[in-house]
């Protein structure tokens, strides 16, 4: 079967190939009615763009890179799904790279994407002390940060980003535990060089302060968003004589590790120990887990970051200013926190 071309579509509709090309590439000069007919005819005829030929003309690869810290973490899997769906809708392909939380791997991923001619990069791995921000600027390749920010105002002013309200989400989660009557709360933190962990920590501390609660240093453990580390940290805390009554955890994947440690210690959730996570990964809502958490809507975050990057590639943002989108964080109350047992007590 011969490949369908824009000439075939033009022949069917009796219009010029220029009209077909402009309509399919969303360029001006084509009315909505004609554009609708072109798009529908292209679908009916099974038209597939020839990206190689298209790239030769436009000097684009129509491919973008997504760099994540851990493919094994469901958070990044759901983020990647959102990115992939949006780039596919916009006529691009996605290349996925995993850094395993390593700067050198991140650098190699960036260099590999540049060498392969990627039109842009989405990064969910950037830390505050990350040298690869300078590398990206030197390469002059369009990039967008997702779920991560650079908190230095001078550096951040030129960087596009899509994130969730980490501060507000953590504030809600911490306040929720305080209203349930908990005063001794352990915090399992991510990587304190990541903007997400920094803002999550500040949000929870401010909420705790309103209730006169200060987190003891030995109940604040940095686990780098790692499930195994969170499990071990929780185990170390829970075997103590005067253990906390609740855990506030900066990631659902880590919360699963805490949950495992709690059951290993013979504790019931939420009767003996309340657990609140952050992310709302798909497994969190399953019967038997029912994790109270804060929704980041990572799928939407991924779609939004992909659209932002492709707009940047197409140079639709000509103002020179950076674009920053912050999504709302929603507290999702399920069974693991104990709210359904007794409700708020203050």
Residue-wise DSSP of 252-307: HHHHHHHHHHHHHTT--TTTT-EEE-SB--GGGGSTTT--BEEE--HHHHHHHHHH
In this structure, what token pair is assigned to residue 86? 């949006």
Instruction: Please report how many Cα atoms fall inside a 13 Å half-sphere around the Cα of residue 105, on the Cβ side.
Output: 13
The least confident of 119-123, 151-155, 259-263 is 151-155
What pLDDT, on the 0 to 100 scale, is given for residue 51?
54
Whether residue 235 is predicted with pLDDT greater than 80 in this model: the reply is yes
The least confident of 51-65, 187-201, 244-258 is 51-65
How many whole angstroms separate alpha carbon 134 and alpha carbon 156?
Answer: 12
Indicate the Cα dihedral angle 299, 303, 304, 307, nearest 10°.
170
Place of tokens 């011969």: 2
How many whole angstroms separate alpha carbon 254 and alpha carbon 221?
Answer: 12
Place of tokens 């798909």: 282
Determine the 3-state secondary structure of 263 from DSSP.
helix
The distance of Cα 121 from the centroid of its chain, to the nearest Å, equals 14
User: Cβ(186)–Cβ(246) under 8 Å?
Assistant: yes
Residue-wise pLDDT for 126-157, tens only, equals 999 899 998 998 898 999 999 999 999 888 88
In this structure, what token pair is assigned to residue 219? 């109940």
Place of tokens 């020839």: 50
Edge to edge, the sheet with strand 63-68 lists 93-98, 63-68, 120-123, 143-146, 160-164, 324-327
Regarding the domain delimited by 166-296+331-342, which CATH topology (the fold level of the hierarchy) does it fall under? Answer: Rossmann fold (3.40.50)
CA angle 186, 189, 194 (to 5 degrees): 160
Q: What is the torsional sign of CA 169, 179, 213, 247?
A: negative
Average model confidence (pLDDT) across the chain: 91
In this structure, what token pair is assigned to residue 160? 């596009």
The mean per-residue pLDDT over the stretch 8-19 comes to 89
Whether residue 82 is predicted with pLDDT greater than 60 in this model: the reply is yes
Cis peptide before 270 (omega within 30 of 0): yes
Residue-wise pLDDT for 277-305, tens only, equals 999 999 999 999 999 999 999 999 999 99
How many whole angstroms separate alpha carbon 17 and alpha carbon 7?
Answer: 6
Longest dimension (CA), the chain: 82
Determine the 3-state secondary structure of 158 from DSSP.
coil
Identify the CATH number of the domain defined by range 61-163+298-327: 3.40.50.2300
Tally the residues of the chain: 346
Residue-wise pLDDT for 177-207, tens only, equals 999 999 999 999 999 999 999 999 999 999 9
The least confident of 19-33, 79-93, 160-174 is 19-33
The mean per-residue pLDDT over the stretch 41-60 comes to 66
How many whole angstroms separate alpha carbon 173 and alpha carbon 162?
Answer: 21
The distance of Cα 196 from the centroid of its chain, to the nearest Å, equals 11
How many whole angstroms separate alpha carbon 298 and alpha carbon 78?
Answer: 6
Place of tokens 């009767």: 271
CATH number for domain 6-48, candidates 3.30.479.30, 3.40.50.720, 3.30.70.3280, 1.10.260.40? 1.10.260.40
Q: What is the torsional sign of CA 31, 33, 35, 37?
A: negative
Q: Do domains 6-48 and 61-163+298-327 have the same CATH topology?
A: no
Whether residue 33 is predicted with pLDDT greater than 70 in this model: the reply is yes
Delimit the domains of the chain by residue range. 6-48, 61-163+298-327, 166-296+331-342
In this structure, what token pair is assigned to residue 66? 């997504």
User: Cβ(195)–Cβ(225) under 8 Å?
Assistant: no
Percent over 90 (pLDDT), the chain = 73
């Amino acid at each position: 079967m011969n490949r369908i071309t824009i000439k075939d579509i033009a022949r069917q509709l009796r219009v010029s190939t220029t009209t077909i090309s402009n309509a399919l590439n969303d360029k001006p000069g084509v009315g909505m009615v004609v554009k609708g007919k072109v798009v529908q005819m292209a679908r009916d005829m099974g038209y597939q763009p020839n990206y190689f030929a298209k790239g030769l003309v436009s000097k684009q690869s129509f491919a973008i890179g997504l760099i994540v810290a851990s493919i094994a973490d469901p958070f990044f899997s759901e983020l990647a799904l959102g990115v992939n769906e949006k780039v596919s809708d916009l006529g691009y392909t996605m290349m996925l790279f995993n850094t395993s939380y390593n700067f050198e791997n991140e650098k190699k991923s960036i260099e590999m994407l540049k060498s392969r001619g990627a039109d842009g990069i989405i990064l969910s791995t950037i830390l505050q002390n990350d040298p690869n921000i300078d590398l990206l600027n030197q390469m002059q390749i369009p990039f967008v940060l997702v779920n991560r920010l650079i908190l230095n105002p001078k550096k951040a002013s030129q960087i596009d980003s899509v994130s969730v309200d980490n501060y507000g989400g953590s504030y809600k989660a911490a306040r929720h535990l305080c209203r349930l009557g908990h005063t001794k709360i352990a915090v399992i933190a991510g990587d304190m060089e990541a903007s997400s962990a920094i803002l999550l920590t500040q949000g929870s501390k401010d909420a705790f302060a309103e209730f006169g609660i200060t987190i003891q240093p030995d109940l604040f453990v940095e686990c780098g968003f790692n499930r195994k580390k969170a499990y071990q940290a929780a185990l170390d805390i829970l075997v103590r004589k005067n253990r906390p009554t609740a855990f506030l955890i900066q990631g659902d994947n880590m919360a699963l590790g805490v949950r495992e440690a709690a059951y290993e210690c013979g504790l019931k959730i939420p009767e003996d120990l309340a657990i609140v996570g952050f992310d709302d990964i798909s497994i969190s809502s399953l019967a038997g887990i029912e994790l109270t958490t804060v929704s980041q809507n990572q799928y939407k975050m991924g779609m939004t970051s992909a659209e932002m990057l492709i707009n940047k590639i197409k140079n639709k943002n000509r103002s020179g200013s950076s674009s920053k989108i912050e999504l709302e964080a929603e507290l999702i109350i399920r069974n693991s926190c104990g709210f359904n047992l007794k409700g708020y007590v203050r």
